[in-house]
Structure 1
Amino acid sequence: MCGIVGYVGPRAAQALLLEGLRKLEYRGYDSAGVSLIAGGEIASVRAVGNLDHLVEAVHRAQRDGGAAGVATREPTTGIGHTRWATHGRVNESNAHPHFDTTNRVHVVVNGIVENYLVLKRRLEAEGAAFTSETDAEVIAHLVSHHLRRTGSLPDAVRAAFAELEGHYAFVAMALDEPELLVGARQECPLVVGRGDGETFLASAIPAFLRHTRRVQFIENGELVAITPEGATFLTPDGGIVEREVVTVDWDEDTAEKGGYETFMLKEIHEQADAVAETIADRTIREDGVDLAEEAAFDEALLHGVDRIVVVACGTSYHAGLIGRYAIEEWARVPVEMDVASEYRYRNPVVGPRDLVIGITQSGETADTLAAMRLARERGARVLAVTNVMGSQATREADGVLYTRAGLEIGVAATKTFVCQVAVMYLLGLRLAELRGTLGLEDRCRLVAELKRVPHEIAEPLAGLDVDAIAERHAAQGFFLYLGRHVGLPVALEGALKLKEISYIPTDAYAAGEMKHGPIALLDESTPVVVVVTDSPVRDKVVSNIQEVRARGAHVIAVASEGDVEIDQHAEEVIRVPALDWMLQPLLAVIPLQAVHRRRARLRRRARAARPAPRRPLLRQGGGRQGAGARRVVLAGHRGRQRRRRAARGAARGPRRARGGGRGVADAHRHDGGRGRGGPVTSILDPLPTAEEMRATDRWAIEERGIPGIELMERAGAGLARVVAEVAPEGLVVVVCGGGNNGGDGYVAARLLRAAGREVDVLWTKDPAELQGDARTMAQRLAGDAPRPFGGALPAGAAVVVDALLGTGFSGAPRGPVAEAIAAINAAGVPAVAVDVPSGVDATTGEVAGGAVRAVATATFAAAKPGLWIHPGKEHAGAVEVVDIGIPEGAPVRPGHGLITTRALGAYPHRGPASTKFESGHVLVAGGSRGLTGAVCLAAMAAMRAGAGYVTACVPPELNDVFEVKLTEVMTRDLEAVLEATERGGALVLGPGMGREEERQAFARDVARRAAVPLVLDADGLNAHAGHLEDLAQRTAPTVLTPHGGELARLLDTDSDAVRARRLHHAREAARRSGAIVVLKGDDTLVCEPGGRVGISRGDAPALATAGTGDVLSGVLGALLAKDLAPFDAACAAVALHAEAGRRAAVVLDGPDGVIASDVIDELPGALAG
């Protein structure tokens, strides 16, 4: 999804083009370039990689003089482009703009020219010299050819337009007409921006929105000529048409969405272009498909294949299912489907004659990567289908087929799914041709049908009343999806989409399976979506429809156009264009995506309109609570920025009204904040993710004018200070990698040498091959030249600096970097990490392979989440935040935050006129023979945390025990707990309840029916193993407080998996349950379904004792009963619990010997500060 920007006017074009390209980065790209007219010549500057590389190349050109330098001083005309490689490799020659043989015509192109080979051969015969591997270059030569004949750029572009086939948009510029740009649009977008004496031409409005909001839209099949005075719109035959000037009132966020309400809706409408680029990226003949020209794919992989195994997860799995049907039907190769997360655990049988296909949108899906590695280890051939060049999957595979979906921002996959399906079709067609299993006539018909798909994708949306369908079913709480053959994966994907974006329980079945039991789920209120497009099993699906209608279900059929009979069998029919039955999934899924997106918006609005009840809360207790031993404690404020913060007292205020405050994710307040997450609440210390930190750096450089090299200098200086603090004397060894982290290392090495330290610098990437600021810093290093890393560190080092991998890295290190990490860990000397220990994911704390174990980490501007989340926390050592001078005011608002005692600022203290009712009522339900202590601890903790009164609902046969133990607490019969909730308050359910099936069923029933905020702990959690999704139906806040083992049971996984990916699994539980999840531990995580995360700073080893989890549940119940916003309440409870544990350790001269009741005793003191 490339980006185009053009400008004509009185201002210097260079800065405007670069700024516009920045605004189009969200579309995805791998190279970029600009061409500028000034000083009687056209200068073109191109670069591989991100826009920083292009900026650096432009600056070099300025130093060398010529048009690129003149362009900063003289009025110019220019065009710019970001390219996502389709035809041709990723290199500077293939980057845009392209030019003709005389260098007098330059063009930038989006999309695909399908007939470029025919045109290229003709133009070469006429003397055109091509310099790239792209299809786009043919347009430059074709326009030049016609310009020589017509003498007019608009006429030349119009003549070229008439010869081109495909879907594309392009802008042409000619040296002989320096104040004119001409654009043409065929399927791909192009829009005009009208300024005061200047005009822009771009592929999307964000490119020029800062400069003008007056736009003109170019219709499909039109041309436009722009000058500083305005725009002239032309038809292909030369006629002039008028286009209205529209003033858009978008902000920049809306502009990035292309004017659509959400990114998901925008991406649904982009699917035609995405599929077109995916298909046209390959050489498509009339009778077949050629994959031999794929840069990362060798067709030898397909020879001699006896079996294909597809491994994938989620949406990618459904795309693989469709591919299985196509490959088996066309190529007659047996295909097996495997859920990637299960594949490696079943000891699969796989060998050299098997082709294993891993489908992963990002190329970084851990389960899919693990399955691909295992298959490769056992001798199988491995093919990756992915959207991301350079991703881990591309490095793990023997070959790669790329989808061309562009960047996908929406939370639910849409265009990546259809592009994956398209690639699987292409692979199936090629296999069929190689094996001779599909006749010529069938191949020609399928190729023609496949090329129709992009044009047909828009049809299901054009005549579909999305709002009406969504509104008719807005109140439904369950949907069933049915399909057979290729309709089944569409049904599965439809069900998944509704779950992902609406959090509505859904199920999907092969329609023929309904009679084997699932039909019992149906009643007259159940909407059943049936995919019944044309196929060999269409009549059987109709028969299955009769089965569900017999139960009174409401049938919504997705059918092919022309199928009039289906109207007799369904209450509603959604029609899609008729197409070859095997290709129908590409169209059938589109209306389901659109309806479900609208259904999700209606659901959120309906919930936002209700009074928002109180919400949930959480924190630690049980498990390994203690902080790991720290070998180094740095001076200053460990783990936070050195800047003054508001005093804790100043953060306090009156308690919030129910549902008020920023702490609740916008619309879906009562169910734990489902929907897109917002920024973390102000009571937490922001922890930006790797992506958020990159955006902040970019803002500082571009918007505040701070040079990137200056930020690197400050980072290196701060790093040098930390190194000197860890090792005041002795040899310093700095091991530098290939990115900006390496640049920071070179700065520190230079400054330490200047201070008189002996410094030895090793590299894993030759400094001569570095780019940008890192290269500059390597060149500035004085003294002994850096040496290549040779497998071990030099002897006698006092400290080693890990400057290998930065915050942008994820996955398992490989090659020299992996060897260097192993050497650092084996050296037996203190290591200081730069920004994040190499091998640790800066956002999640995950460690996929080897990772440096540092005694200290110098991180820049702000700490990152992965430094506080295990296992990354174990590798980080002491965390020192280095202020590198990024000013306040960045628009990036992190969704992760560090929980410290500052979170107690949210606590609503009692006032002079407070009553026990205003202080909140907590119910604690649980207890069984031998487990009475759990209820007692939770109840007393609630009292000490400030609850006005507490009621313990316990088994009647144990009532006497509780009457003696709990003198300040009322008791009631356990069976009466639901009645007790009618008086309001918060309910803590599960402590000591027992695991008998009768008790477990009772706990589930109470959780389902209780209309008050609910804390589920211990046996209340165990009761929901296998029933986690049931909690999503609750209409009051829900908080789960598992330790790692309990979370593993809830998610049906193992404890080791949770330990390795704590944040991932906590978020998964929050998403599936609709509840806030508190995953207890030294790094207790507070995760809400909307995406916000609080992370405890830990360092409370006294909590590693029995019963502290019950204490946390009671504290949590007390804060929920006080009407705090649930996320704020959760974070405050975590902070209060940990601070009480630390205080107990001080009182008792150490953490050893602290028991849960000691922690309860310290709660009031912790509250008082």
Structure 2
Amino acid sequence: MIRAHTVEQVRSAEHALIRTLPDGTLMQRAATGLAHAVADYLGSVYGRTAVLLVGAGDNGGDALYAGAQLARRGAAVEAWLLSERAHRGGVEALRTAGGRVTVATSSPPPVRRRPDVVVDGIVGIGGRPGLRPAAVAALDALAGVPVVAVDVPSGVDVDTGEVDGPHVRADLTVTFGTHKVAHLVDPAAGAVGALHLVDIGLDPHLEPAAVTALRPEDVAALLPRPRSDAHKYTRGVVGVRAGSATYPGAARLSVAGASCGLAGMVRYVGPDEAAAAVRADHPEVVGPGRVQAWVVGSGSDAGAETALREAVADDVPVLVDADALAAVEVVAGRGAVLTPHAGELARMLDEDRAAIEARGLHHARRAAARWQAVVLLKGRHTLVAAPDGRVAVTTTGTPWLATAGAGDVLGGVIGALLAAGLDPFDAAALGSWVHGGAATLARRDGPIVAGDVARALPATLATVMGQSGP
């Protein structure tokens, strides 16, 4: 599992580790890892050129010591000092190795030769969002050159994933010891580029993660598997109340997600027009009866609140999507899974959509606490927030997944996992990962529609389950 920590957690772990090490060891470990990562990114070192953008923090020191190592291997390295408080030992190490040092606190020096790479050591992990004018000017002077960020792209909020003002957009981010929240949470995560983690020995000292993300092996361990004596009822029955005469396709897609094979049976309850379409697609789907979980709301139109109240009366876990989210108070405190996109969550919280997108982590946690439910906020990196503050981030998927009906399929998958016995948080995080994985598999080399994602679910599940044996 990917575990992301806050600045306070990282600093506490660093201080605990530093007490056991000779002075400067931690920075040298980080600098060596950074130098190797830059070398790997460039493909070669001798004769290559690098500009280091150096601020006052330890990230600037990491960049300077890494630059010294690159210079000793034959690279032409120049440091632009954006602060008068740049790390003195790092500056001296770079000069000793043959690198150039230029003060750029007021304006950047002329660019004599376009460098091969820029190393962003402007702001440390404790820096505030945004960049000072000197840093912005330096980045503008080097526009178009690939950027390797030290720890996080400078200018983003490390603990929230928020951005406020100018910030670095990296091609590669090299981080140390552990992932940080901004590596996973948008919009900051969109500025990270490829991410490389350098082990500097923090693990034994780190507290529980603030944010997590599943890896394939975690998914394989969580996915429900039938016992040798299983039958369709012991594997779980998921009910779907979705679709309407106006939107029968939503019913078909919700049922397609629920019919991924993770539950033993799927029941459909809805208007005759939608029911006929569902059964034409899925002859194994049956009608009303007892269920272990409900999926409610996709394309339900005016009947959404009634469908939700009828589902809640069964006292089983409920996934609430789309039209049913307008009646969210019906499930408050019942441990439901809510699956809004940013626009829907904005209406639920009486906020602007832009505010939700700018502060997704904050608002997902806020909604989870308000309704005492698991909130899955759909997006490029979907967030799954629990009422107790836990957050899982989905890193699978593709931009092609932004297509009509994809959320209907997602709701069905999560509903099947709820019916199979997973708790709401795990079901939402796992279902979102599988849904994104299926979209990636379905995409191959071109666009997809929601039905493609549903059809790719069995192959995705079989691939992941195969990684952990029968």
So what's the TM-score if we normalise by structure 2?
Answer: 0.90
**Deviation of residue 1031 (structure 1)?**
3.5
State the Cα deviation string for residues 24-51 of structure 1 (Å, max 9, x = none).
xxxxxxxxxxxxxxxxxxxxxxxxxxxx
Of residues 988, 1009, 1012 in structure 1, which corresponds to 2:295? 988
Structure 2 equivalent of residue 807 of structure 1: 125
Q: Is the 8 A contact 1:845 1:871 kept in 2?
A: yes
Q: What secondary structure does 1:1162 align onto?
A: helix
Which residue identity lines up with residue 61 of structure 2 in the other structure? G
Q: Distance in 1 between matches of 2:206 and 2:59?
A: 24
* Map 1:742-757 → 2, pairs under 5 A: 742-757=60-75
**Deviation of residue 834 (structure 1)?**
0.4
* Map 1:912-927 → 2, pairs under 5 A: 912-927=228-243
Q: Does 1:868 align with 2:149?
A: no
Structure 1 equivalent of residue 332 of structure 2: 1032
Which residue identity lines up with residue 1044 of structure 1 in the other structure? A
Q: Does 1:689 align with 2:6?
A: yes
Which residue identity lines up with residue 847 of structure 1 in the other structure? V
Of residues 317, 328, 336 in structure 2, which corresponds to 1:1013? 317
* Map 1:1128-1143 → 2, pairs under 5 A: 1128-1143=426-441
Of residues 74, 81, 86 in structure 2, which corresponds to 1:763? 81
Q: Distance in 1 between matches of 2:23 and 2:352?
A: 44
Structure 2 equivalent of residue 911 of structure 1: 227
Of residues 706, 716, 731 in structure 1, which corresponds to 2:31? 716
Q: Distance in 1 between matches of 2:317 and 2:28?
A: 51
**Deviation of residue 857 (structure 1)?**
0.6
* Map 1:785-800 → 2, pairs under 5 A: 786-789=101-104, 790-792=106-108, 794-796=111-113, 797-800=115-118
Of residues 691, 696, 700 in structure 1, which corresponds to 2:17? 700
Task: Count the aligned residue pairs.
Answer: 454
Structure 2 equivalent of residue 943 of structure 1: 259
Structure 2 equivalent of residue 775 of structure 1: 88
State the Cα deviation string for residues 275-328 of structure 1 (Å, max 9, x = none).
xxxxxxxxxxxxxxxxxxxxxxxxxxxxxxxxxxxxxxxxxxxxxxxxxxxxxx
State the Cα deviation string for residues 231-268 of structure 1 (Å, max 9, x = none).
xxxxxxxxxxxxxxxxxxxxxxxxxxxxxxxxxxxxxx
Q: Distance in 1 between matches of 2:127 and 2:446?
A: 37
Q: Distance in 2 between matches of 1:1144 and 1:1016?
A: 26
**Deviation of residue 747 (structure 1)?**
0.6
Q: What secondary structure does 1:1157 align onto?
A: helix
Q: Is the 8 A contact 2:397 2:437 kept in 1?
A: no
Q: Distance in 1 between matches of 2:82 and 2:390?
A: 37
Q: What secondary structure does 1:1068 align onto?
A: helix
Deviates more, 1:1038-1047 or 1:780-789: 780-789
Q: Is the 8 A contact 1:1067 1:1089 kept in 2?
A: yes
Of residues 351, 356, 363 in structure 2, which corresponds to 1:1058? 356
Q: Is the 8 A contact 1:903 1:1131 kept in 2?
A: no
Identity %: 38
5+ long unaligned stretches in structure 1: 1-683, 973-979
Q: Which has the higher contact order (CA 8 A, sep 6+)?
A: 2
Structure 2 equivalent of residue 832 of structure 1: 148
Q: Distance in 2 between matches of 1:1066 and 1:1151?
A: 32
Structure 2 equivalent of residue 1120 of structure 1: 418
Q: Distance in 2 between matches of 1:822 and 1:866?
A: 23
Which residue identity lines up with residue 1032 of structure 1 in the other structure? A
State the Cα deviation string for residues 936-977 of structure 1 (Å, max 9, x = none).
2111221214211111110246544444343111134xxxxx
Of residues 230, 235, 249 in structure 2, which corresponds to 1:933? 249
Q: Distance in 1 between matches of 2:117 and 2:249?
A: 50
**Deviation of residue 821 (structure 1)?**
4.5
Q: Distance in 2 between matches of 1:1010 and 1:809?
A: 50
Structure 2 equivalent of residue 119 of structure 1: none
**Deviation of residue 785 (structure 1)?**
5.3
Q: What secondary structure does 1:760 align onto?
A: strand
Q: Distance in 1 between matches of 2:81 and 2:14?
A: 25
Which residue identity lines up with residue 748 of structure 1 in the other structure? A
Q: Distance in 2 between matches of 1:1087 and 1:1007?
A: 23
Structure 2 equivalent of residue 1159 of structure 1: 453
Structure 2 equivalent of residue 140 of structure 1: none
Structure 2 vs 1, CA of residues 1049 and 821 (structure 1 numbering), >3 Å: closer, same or farther?
farther
**Deviation of residue 814 (structure 1)?**
3.1
Q: Is the 8 A contact 1:945 1:1115 kept in 2?
A: no
Structure 2 equivalent of residue 726 of structure 1: 41
Q: Distance in 2 between matches of 1:1115 and 1:1065?
A: 24
Q: What secondary structure does 2:116 align onto?
A: strand
**Deviation of residue 723 (structure 1)?**
1.9
Q: What secondary structure does 2:422 align onto?
A: coil
Structure 2 vs 1, CA of residues 920 and 750 (structure 1 numbering), >3 Å: closer, same or farther?
same
Q: Does 1:892 align with 2:186?
A: no
Q: What secondary structure does 1:734 align onto?
A: strand
Q: What secondary structure does 1:1136 align onto?
A: helix
Q: Is the 8 A contact 2:297 2:304 kept in 1?
A: no
Q: What secondary structure does 2:205 align onto?
A: coil
Q: Distance in 2 between matches of 1:1047 and 1:829?
A: 38
Larger radius of gyration: 1
Q: Distance in 2 between matches of 1:801 and 1:740?
A: 14
